Chains A and B, each alone.
Chain A
Amino acid sequence: MGLFGAIDAATSGAHVSRVWLDAISDNVANVNTDRPGDEEPFRARMVRVTSVDRRENGGVGGAAVVAIQNRGGDPALVYDPDNPIADEFGRVAKPVVDLGVEMTNLLIANRSYQANLRVIEHARDSYKSALQIGSR
């Protein structure tokens, strides 16, 4: 709906922040998930976002989630032969998650969600002010 473009765009931004929060929560939950050293470790989920083309979307912009991808890089291999999940060389693969980065992202995602909701609030106030034009 073209009448409430600001609200539509802010809703899409809030959706992106919500998906990001979900991914961060998954990463933090798995920060201690070890795997055998010869298996694929848990990798942090990263949300890939694109901007919405305003001309192709009826004049309404916004952001959209394209994909959720796994972080690359080599896991930390810890020598722990007594661990029941250790591989034949006694290695355990630590998850590819940096808790410090995740906590920072959590703050950013939280603030981003709040910022989008604040946009909705202010857009509503603006539209309501427009209804006052010419009233006695």
Chain B
Amino acid sequence: MAVGAIPAFTPMLPATSGLAGAWGATVGAGQGVQGVQGAVGAVGSATGGGDFVASLTDAASALNEADRLGRQLATGELTDVHEYMAAATKANLSVEFIVTVRDRAVEAFQEIMRMQV
């Protein structure tokens, strides 16, 4: 994951590439999310996008929880079906929240870039 390759756009772009990483890891294999959390945390402290990264880490842990329960559901260990549905809803909402914040941030950034100097 090339998080270190784009240090120019300070708080926004590392976070977005981290988000894509979270998606890829969750879709691919569940174990990857932990690594993504670590990478995102490192980038956040290095570039000062800490608050956004904290939210992103929350979203990644919500995804992780949904992933864990999904695996339990598949293996027949899960006793409460609604628990998985609630976790999936929370993961969905977290990611939607993060994507919305990212979109607004990118929008503001582009607005500034269009400014005549």
Contact = CB atoms under 8 A, between A and B. Distances in A.
Nearest to B93: A127
Contacts of B73: none
B79 to A, nearest CB: 8
B96 interface: yes
A43 to B, nearest CB: 24
Interface in A1-51: 1, 3-4, 7-8, 10-11, 14-15, 18
Interface stretch (B10-18, B19-27, B40-48, B81-89): B81-89
Q: Is the interface of B mostly helix, strand, loop or mixed?
A: helix
Categorize the interface residue count of chain B.
Answer: 10 to 19
Nearest to A132: B100
Nearest to B81: A18
Interface in A113-136: 113, 116-117, 120, 124, 127-128, 131, 134-135
A120 B62 CA distance: 16
Interface string B92-117: 01101100100010000000000000
Contacts, number: 41
28 contacts: A1-B90, A3-B58, A4-B90, A4-B93, A8-B86, A10-B86, A11-B83, A14-B80, A14-B82, A14-B86, A15-B80, A15-B82, A15-B83, A18-B80, A18-B82, A113-B82, A117-B82, A120-B82, A120-B85, A120-B86, A124-B93, A127-B93, A127-B97, A128-B93, A128-B96, A131-B96, A131-B97, A134-B104
Interface of A: 1, 3-4, 7-8, 10-11, 14-15, 18, 113, 116-117, 120, 124, 127-128, 131, 134-135
